[in-house]
Amino acid sequence: MNSVDMTMASVACIGECMVELRQAQGGQSAGQGGGLYSRGFGGDTLNTAVYLARLEVKVDYLTALGDDALSDEMIAAWNAESVGTRRVVRLPGKLPGLYMIQLDAKGERQFFHWRDSAAARQLMSLPETDELLNSLMSYDIVYLSAITLSIYDQAGRDRLFAAIKRARLLGTRFVFDTNFRARGWPDRDVAREVFAAAFAAADIVLTSTEDLLALWPGESHEQLMARIPTPELVFRLAEPVSLLRFPGGTHEVRAEPMTKPVVDTTAAGDSFAAAYIAARLGGSEPVEAAQAGHRLASLVICYPGAIIPGYAMPPKKRHRAAPTRQATK
């Protein structure tokens, strides 16, 4: 990873951004199932891309959108955040996916998705796909999540993994985030097989007890970590603690105590990933990078929504020069 100047580091975030309908406060009508909703945009890898850009990392978002006004709004919003859109494929007649967040009487959130025909699902089977996948070799890091993998069929996943393996031969690093959502998979056996393939291909895995226990219930931390052969592993526990495994040893990193109330945990993991990747690109060792991840995540959960106001971002930190990018042997 050659990133003496952080603006020269490059990350490709692959995934899907959807239209979000969120129940507005006080929007639940008495005696009715409906209510008022506000519209926004959301997606796990898109959240990470935004935070990477705010941390002064050059990042492109790789996805497919329609040619509709909502897709135009997404592009404009990403450009405003300095997220690169040159790798976004626009499909005539298609639309982005949509999800709705509904609150019950106790304030618990429920998610409803409409995404089966979303443009992003076709990204691995387009005339432009080969060019898009070949471009992965030009990035320092390719980042995607299990949600990304869940929207493609097996042929699409195989095509993506093959491209990632080619890119790694030239020094690109693959970072896999296990963000697991059961409703995105036909069954857990399929998810386990795909996770195993991603683990085998990855240079860095970012995971959590929440994700892995959903797939391998009852296993200990040691058993879960043993399933992941990648050389660099960040394993977030239920409490604000990370277990790190990397060449040279293992380490436990605890988040600093919270000084503000938790408002919304949305994008805690996405922002952690961004800060960790940015720090590693900037030359920080894994322990320091995990500390940066916990700091940003602890800040993000003090604000409503996935993306906090720009003024609330932490002060910019000067990073050390990262090691020279090397091809995988």
Catalytic residues: 270
Closest CA to 43 of 9, 7, 77: 77
Q: Are 139 and 163 in contact (CB under 8 A)?
A: no
Q: Encode 183-220 in three state secondary structure.
A: HHCCCHHHHHHHHHHHHHHCCEEEEEHHHHHHHCCCCC
Provide the Cα torsion 158, 161, 165, 166; round to 10°. 70
Q: At what angle do helices 69-80 and 44-54 cross, to 10 degrees?
A: 30
* Beta-strand pair 204-208/173-177: parallel
- CA-to-CA dists, residue 38 to 24, 100, 101, 114, 120, angstroms: 6, 10, 10, 17, 23
Q: 305: number of CA atoms within 13 Å, CB side?
A: 14
- What DSSP line would sit under 238-278, residue for residue? SSSEEEEEETTEEEEEEPPPP-S-----TTHHHHHHHHHHH
DSSP designation for 321: P
Exposure class string for 21-51: b at 16+ Cβ within 10 A, else e: bbbeeeebeeeeeeeeeeeebbbbbbbbbbb
Q: Are 125 and 119 in contact (CB under 8 A)?
A: no
Instruction: At 50, list the tokens.
Output: 């935004």
Q: Residue 27 contacts by C-beta under 8 Å, 6 or more apart in sequence?
A: 35, 36, 37
